[in-house]
């Protein structure tokens, strides 16, 4: 009868082994989850920092682009005591420089005179009878349109040809 008895102290029952393996696996999975959560948190922080840095860089570029315009306005004002023609020339040069900065930033001015009125691009501020052009044609731009082709920064304020009554 002693031969049939087996020593249970050397081997753990299979249930206890499985339980220990499950605990180890759970601990491993929890560790992996914590690491992944930390990586995600670090990624979010890095993206926020990069986004903030990019915003600051873009703001600095735009500001730097406008600095020569401000400098030239200062020069125009310094010469305001001179003759009127010099002031007009100075202001015209500043305007041209401002338009170049806007175009360089990707938002040029559009010349819409003579084009058909489009409510997505234009704001009608008046109408006038013009028999020489088709009705709905822009005959005068009060305030020009700026945009990049896909996005309108500001619609043009225009006067549109109307049908003759």
In words, the CATH class of domain 107-165 is: mainly beta
Q: How far apart are CA 162 and CA 122, in angstroms?
A: 15
CA separation, residue 120 to residues 31, 87, 158 (Å):
55, 37, 13
3-state secondary structure at position 56: helix
Q: Which CATH superfamily does the domain covering 12-105 fall into?
A: GrpE nucleotide exchange factor, coiled-coil domain (3.90.20.20)
pLDDT at 7 exceeding the cut of 70? no
Average pLDDT, the chain: 86
Per the model's pLDDT, the better-predicted residue between 71 and 81 turns out to be 71
What are 103-127's pLDDT values in tens digits? 888 888 899 999 999 999 999 999 9
pLDDT at 49 exceeding the cut of 80? yes
User: Quick one: average pLDDT of 145-160?
Assistant: 89
**Every domain of the chain and the residues it spans:** 12-105, 107-165
Lowest model confidence (mean pLDDT) among 2-6, 81-85, 135-139, 141-145: 2-6
pLDDT at 81 (0 to 100): 66
- At 87, the pLDDT band (50, 70, 90 cuts) reads confident
Kind of pairing between the strands at 122-129 and 138-143: unpaired
User: Quick one: average pLDDT of 66-82?
Assistant: 74
pLDDT at 135 exceeding the cut of 90? yes
Q: How far apart are CA 108 and CA 148, in angstroms?
A: 7
Q: How far apart are CA 150 and CA 71, in angstroms?
A: 32
**Model pTM?**
0.57
In DSSP terms, which residues pair with 157 in a beta bridge?
123, 143
- At 69, the pLDDT band (50, 70, 90 cuts) reads confident
């Amino acid at each position: 009868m002693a031969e049939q008895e087996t020593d249970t102290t050397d081997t753990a029952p299979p249930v206890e082994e499985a339980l220990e393996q499950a605990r180890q696996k759970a601990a491993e999975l929890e560790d992996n989850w914590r690491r992944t959560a930390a990586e995600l948190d670090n990624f979010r922080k890095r993206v926020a920092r990069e986004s903030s840095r990019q915003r600051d860089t873009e703001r600095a570029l735009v500001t730097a682009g406008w600095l020569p315009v401000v400098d030239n306005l200062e020069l125009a004002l310094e010469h305001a005591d001179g003759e009127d023609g010099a002031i007009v020339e100075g202001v015209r040069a500043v305007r041209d420089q401002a338009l170049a900065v806007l175009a360089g930033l990707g938002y040029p001015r559009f010349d819409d005179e003579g084009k058909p009125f489009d409510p997505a691009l234009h704001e009608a501020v008046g109408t006038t009878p013009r028999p020489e052009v088709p009705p709905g044609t822009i005959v005068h731009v009060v305030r020009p349109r700026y945009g990049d082709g896909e996005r309108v920064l500001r619609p043009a304020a225009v006067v549109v040809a109307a049908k003759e009554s």
